[in-house]
Amino acid sequence: MSDFAEQNADLKALIRTIPDFPKPGIQFRDITTLLLDPHGWATAIERMVAAVSGPVDLIAGIEARGFLFAAALAAPLKAGVLLIRKDGKLPGATIAEDYALEYGTDRIAIHADAFAPGARVLLVDDLIATGGTARAAVRLLHKAGAIVTQAQFLVDLPELGGADALRSDGIEASALIHFPGH
């Protein structure tokens, strides 16, 4: 475990693990217990804000839990909130991106007119596992002309390789908390 991760042992202790959800063999890292803790939630957001490098115009959060982080980070960073939604939810014209799930595929979308090319976008989500969702979000943001240099997560499951894959895509990926195994 890195020194950085050890610094966040207080937050890690607020995350509950539910075995065999949503299917046998998955250790579900449940952040709802951290969200319920006023000091823990405020501390998590403060530490994520402190880890942001450089100015950003928009914080992009991935539906659904990522929305909480995008909204909370945007206010202190004086940035806007960009909702990356599951396909079919946005009312205006959209740009979409497909990505692979364990079984089948899914699609995420943003409004085509959400930002002008060259906008500096920070990607956030509650958790990165395989990285399939976050990498698709980066592809989508790039397709729309965004500059994406950094992605932040509360939780990383490092053995699933998602954060390393994002780094290989040229994104500076970081998380406050690491859970070995998955």
Ligand X SMILES: O=P(O)(O)OC[C@H]1O[C@H](OP(=O)(O)OP(=O)(O)O)[C@H](O)[C@@H]1O
How many residues lie near ligand X (CB under 6 A)?
16
Residue with tokens 């957001």: 45
According to CB under 6 A, which one of 48, 83, 110, 127 is a site residue for ligand ADE?
127
Nearest distance in Å: CB 180, ligand ADE:
12
CB nearer to ligand ADE: pick between 114 and 134: 134
Please confirm whether the linkage preceding 112 is cis (ω < 30° from 0): no
Contact 61, 71 (CB under 8 A): yes
Nearest distance in Å: CB 9, ligand ADE:
19
102 catalytic residue (yes or no): yes
Distance CA(168)–CA(161), nearest Å, equals: 11
CB nearer to ligand ADE: pick between 95 and 165: 165
Nearest distance in Å: CB 30, ligand ADE:
7
Stretch that binds ligand X, among 34-42, 89-97, 125-133, 143-151 (CB under 6 A): 125-133
Q: Which of 181, 182, 179, 177 is nearest to 69 (CA)?
A: 177
Beta bridge partners of 97: 108
Q: Is 161 in the site for ligand ADE (CB under 6 A)?
A: no
Alpha-carbon dihedral of residues 51, 152, 115, 101, nearest 10 degrees? 180
> By CB under 6 A, what part of segment 46-65 binds ligand ADE?
none
47 catalytic residue (yes or no): no
Binding pattern to ligand X, positions 128-157, x when CB under 6 A?
Answer: xxxxxxx-----------------------
Marked catalytic residue, from 47, 65, 120, 139: 65
Q: Is 165 in the site for ligand ADE (CB under 6 A)?
A: no
Alpha-carbon dihedral of residues 33, 34, 37, 39, nearest 10 degrees? 170
Contacts with ligand X by CB under 6 A lie at 62-66, 125-134, 162
Q: Which residues are catalytic?
A: 65, 102
